[in-house]
Amino acid sequence: MDDAAQTPLGSDELTSGILKGATIYGAHGAVMGHVSHLHGSGAACQVIVELGGLPGHGARPVVVGLGQLSFTRNAQGQVQAVTVWTRDQLLAMPMHVD
């Protein structure tokens, strides 16, 4: 992930249609998972992040507050996010069950 080529998303872009499938990176650039879907909207919005595996197959879904992720768009137009959590911290979170 090239930080120099990242443009922050505006609050009007923080929607399920735009964020779904976005890759989540750790602070050091390692892929942590992908956005599965969102619950709610606005400041109370929760992001369901699938860790490991393939989306829908062997992945562990966890809940992360929208404010805990920094969403950006790269030079190719792909939406991505960064978190300060480590993989171990994310894996220790309770599993999300729909």
Domain ranges of the chain: 3-91
pLDDT digits (tens, 9 = 90+) for 21-44: 999 998 788 999 999 999 988 778
pLDDT digits (tens, 9 = 90+) for 44-84: 899 999 997 655 566 789 999 999 999 999 999 999 999 99
Q: What is the pTM of this model?
A: 0.86
- Tell me what pLDDT residue 5 has: 80
Q: Residue 4: helix, strand or coil by DSSP?
A: helix
Burial of 32 per CB tally in 10 Å (0-12, 13-18, 19+): buried
Measuring CA to CA, how many Å separate 51 from each of 13, 28, 64, 69? 23, 16, 12, 15
- 46-51, strands of its sheet edge to edge: 7-8, 70-73, 79-82, 23-25, 31-39, 46-51, 60-65
How many other C-beta atoms lie within 10 A of the C-beta of residue 55?
14
Q: What CATH topology corresponds to 3-91?
A: SH3 type barrels. (2.30.30)
Q: What is the helix (H) or strand (E) element at residue 16, kind and residue range?
A: helix 16-19
